[in-house]
Amino acid sequence: MAVITPPSAAAEEEAMILQVVRDLVAEKVAPRAAEIDAKGEFPWDIQKLFAENDLLGIPFPAEYGGLGGSFLTYVKVVEEISKACASSALIVAVQELGALPIIIAGNHEQKQKYIPKLASGEWTAAYALTEPSSGSDAGTMRVRAERKGDKYVINGNKIWITHGGVADVIVVFAVTDPSKGPNGVSAFIVEKDFPGFKVGKLEKKMGIRGSPTVELIFDNCEVPVENLLGEEGTGFKTAMKVLDKSRPGIAAQAVGIAQGALDYAAAYARERIAFGKPIGQQQGIQFMLADMKVEVEASRLLLYEAARKCDEGSADLTLYAALAKLKAGDTAMKVTVDAVQILGGFGYSVEYPVERMMRDAKITQIYEGTQQIQRLVIARTLVGKWKPPATDGR
């Protein structure tokens, strides 16, 4: 006789949260998705909705005003929202991204000052790493931070900063010692009202149009010394630790987009009649849908495993974060392209959501580390990183 184990309190809480999310998505988010995309404006109403339902504080420590939920619950929430609207999902994902450096490297005073306001949604967050000449090669950044008395003065530009134009708090990475390479990079908490900080160009993008991506300009921007995160020179290590936890968030977005596209394509295939029967009864379409299903489920399993690694603090988290992001991003692109194909001409029309899903899917192969970077990370766990042999100086 099988023994039935009752669900744990954590599992029950997760189920309750996910049901709330599904209801909010069905009632409020999905009906707004096409408009958010068309207008290309940050959906403050959706941000307020998520804040009121405590969705922004799920992975934040309870001692600082968060829900203290698991990372696995967090990625499932991002996934659910992404099924309907990838831009709206980034409200949750980028809040976590911007707060992570403070959670990872911040002292008690910094966490006490910033995390409660981010967990509640009173403030929004952003993460500023990329520069015009420093994308995948983050160790070559040029934005400088020089200490002058009780302040650091930051100069330079950041680009492709998600939510940079609507954020109250931005974690900025800058060089404090150019002679040390990546070990000369430091991290700072910058508030939008600090002197010398301003928002530059707003990018016009293929997808995730409801998520503003901007240039940030630092012109003798003054940052109090107490807003240095950790010690000088530890910023690059902090950034890499953040990516280990933010990449599964993007994988969750990708899985959600793919599932949303698969759901829509399958429903369409059940109803669309061609050659006397639903196209879902045609073997060619059946095989496409079957392959889409396999890829989505495989991606989800990798995603959830990476999330568990985050919760456990596993030594191989970097590998699994890369595996999940790589697989899910490629799956999102393939599944959405196939969904457009299944809908035919209708799939190419903005009146149907799959073309938006296809445009949104592409970014999951690019940000938080390109797919090529993920492959590099994965390969290095197998064969190591090449170090040229030492020379004798001749």
CB 337 within 8 A of CB 358: yes
Question: How far is C-alpha 262 from the chain's CA centre?
Answer: 21
For the chain, the helix, strand and coil percentages under 3-state DSSP, each to the nearest 5: 55, 15, 25
**CA dist., res. 51 & res. 368, Å (int):** 24
**CA dist., res. 212 & res. 164, Å (int):** 7
Q: Is 215 annotated in the active site? A: no
Q: Which residues, listed in sequence order, are joined to residue 171 by a DSSP beta bridge?
A: 127, 189
CB 67 within 8 A of CB 58: yes
> Residue 263's CB: how many other CB atoms inside 10 A?
14
User: Strands 197-202 and 228-229, how do they pair?
Assistant: unpaired
For the chain, list the strands marked E by DSSP: 125-128, 144-148, 151-162, 169-175, 185-191, 197-202, 213-224, 228-229, 273-274, 277-278
> Residue 177's CB: how many other CB atoms inside 10 A?
14
H-type helices in 168-316, by residue range? Answer: 235-271, 283-312
Question: Of residues 79, 131, 215, 368, which has the active-site annotation?
Answer: 368
Across the chain, which distance is largest between two alpha carbons, in Å? 80
Tokens of 326: 């790589």
DSSP state of 122: S
Angle ∠(330,367,77) on CA atoms, nearest 5: 75
3-state secondary structure (DSSP) of residue 4: coil
What are the CA-CA distances from residue 156 to residues 97, 125, 148 (Å)?
22, 20, 17
Question: CB-side exposure of 118: number of CA atoms within 13 Å?
Answer: 35
Query: Any idea which residues carry the catalytic annotation?
Result: 368
